[in-house]
A and B are shown apart, each in its own frame.
Chain A
Amino acid sequence: MFLRLVYESFRRQKRRKLLAGAAITLGVGVATSMIAVATDIGDKVGRELRAFGANLVVTPQQDTLDLQIAGVDLKPPSDGAYLDEADLPKIHGMFWHNNIVGFAPVLPVAVNVGGKSVTLLGTYFSKQLTFGKDEFRTGARSIYPWWKVGGAWPQDDSQDVLVGERLAGTLGLKAGDEIEIAGQSQSHRVAGVLSTGGAEDDQIVAPLAVAQAILGRPGAVRRLYVSAVTKPEDAFARRDPKTLRGPEFDRWYCSPYVESIAYQLQEAIPHSHAEQIRQVAQNEGTVLARIKGLMLLITLAALLAAALAVSAAMATAMFERRTEIGLMRTLGAGSIAVAAIFFAEALLLAVLGGSVGFAGGAMLARVIGRSIFDSRVAVSAVLFPIVIAMAVLVTFAGSALAIRRAVKFDPVYALRGEG
């Protein structure tokens, strides 16, 4: 009898059920997509913040002072220590290598071009590297998205160079020209003119091997810039790893803090010192925390609106049926039996509408992810039971008041339609 009542109610009142179901579907859909976007926004914005460039720098452990003014390196090339280029692919074997967006080694060399002393910066543009069986590409193109080249990027295994735009202006060079570097037998083709808005505008940027050949030190790297997606720093991140014990150390080591990634870079590259570039690393945390906080609060607002929409629709649907409840009561149904029927209906509606809404919300989240961030927003399956449970709860809450009032109401008045 119980099942039949529920079944008949759905069969005979299709319009009302559809309306309430649509409200639940919409509410759950909005809630699902908002939760999915909010939980993923940290990761997405973290990747966007990589547009600010490298947040870690690796230097040789025993290095002399840098002598750099406005990007001009005054340090004699014989001075100081170097990293070994052969160690670089080891970064790909680090615990957090998936968080490393890219890295670029640099080797500045002072050269003489047309009687003018300029800095030639050797680096990777988009170099093919191998670690074990993995092949990957990395270099300046992936970590400095604001570098613009008029012409073409040079190949990493070629002798071609880029010339900074201000230097190109003073030397009268354009893409396709040849450039003579004093003391070099071979001339270099200018593949393109580089514009960065920084010190590189006054420099020549060449493949690393070219700089090493000029310096006469194969395999030498002065510094290594690393761009990594990190977790905002907190008090735990700032602890000294030497003072951490057992599980605490594991937790620190296995969190993508900028400090722990620096620690692992030092492990991967022998005789090196890794340091966060505070301008990028510190501000990243603040911006990320603000955006995440904002999304959290907005998600709360969305959940509130969705819950209200669902419970309002349910309350309206239940209120319309007080005659029915009155009739049941007159026929001798106890208030528990009546409430059970209506709650069963609400449960069914919530599960059906919730499932459709979850699917729709997941799709919406994917559309948002693709159109805004060009990447997939992951909707984890764990979210499904949580969202359904919330839908059931909200539906019950919405119906409860209306059912309680209808059950308490004198059936005689209810049947006469005086609600």
Chain B
Amino acid sequence: VDLTELSEAQDRRLMAALAAGDEDAFRGLFGRYAPTAKALAMRVVRQPHMAEEIVQEAFLSMWRHPDGYDPSRGTVRAWLMGMVHHRAVDTVRREESQRRRADDASAGLRDEVTDHADDVVEHLQRPQEQRAVRAALAEIPPEQREILERMYFDGDSQTTIAEATGLPLGTVKSRTLLGMRKLRASLEGMER
């Protein structure tokens, strides 16, 4: 049993307890994922107060509607980060904050670390996974990685990316799929 499996098993136990109304389980999941959730929200919306609000909404939703989690559709982390990401993307598109972010749209992950150095906290329990994901991202061909990052971290839609890059929409989608497959294969390889 590797660390990832142990972590997922612990998440499932906490989620089951949370669904039964266990406040400590809620605090446990909050402690495990709220800092990453805020980093994700911040990366997309780029506004601390908005990011904090998104995190609060997502965890409130989790507390109120734990039945929304379906184990057959993925891990607790994937579900939670999906809620955060969905809200962040929805917010950034609604607020048209692409305009505010235009100047640094090309900033990469390392730039983001520098941008928010004051907010960065210690990597508590997942520095190894962070390194693994960054290494996996680095292995993806640049033309695929750019699309993945624009979609996930900048909140750009496939249509927006196609228009901005001049690529056919079909190419954007196929590169997305190839990049995701490559990323998944790299991460699985690192876990073994």
A complexed with B: no
Binding site for A on B (CB under 8 A): none
Binding site for B on A (CB under 8 A): none
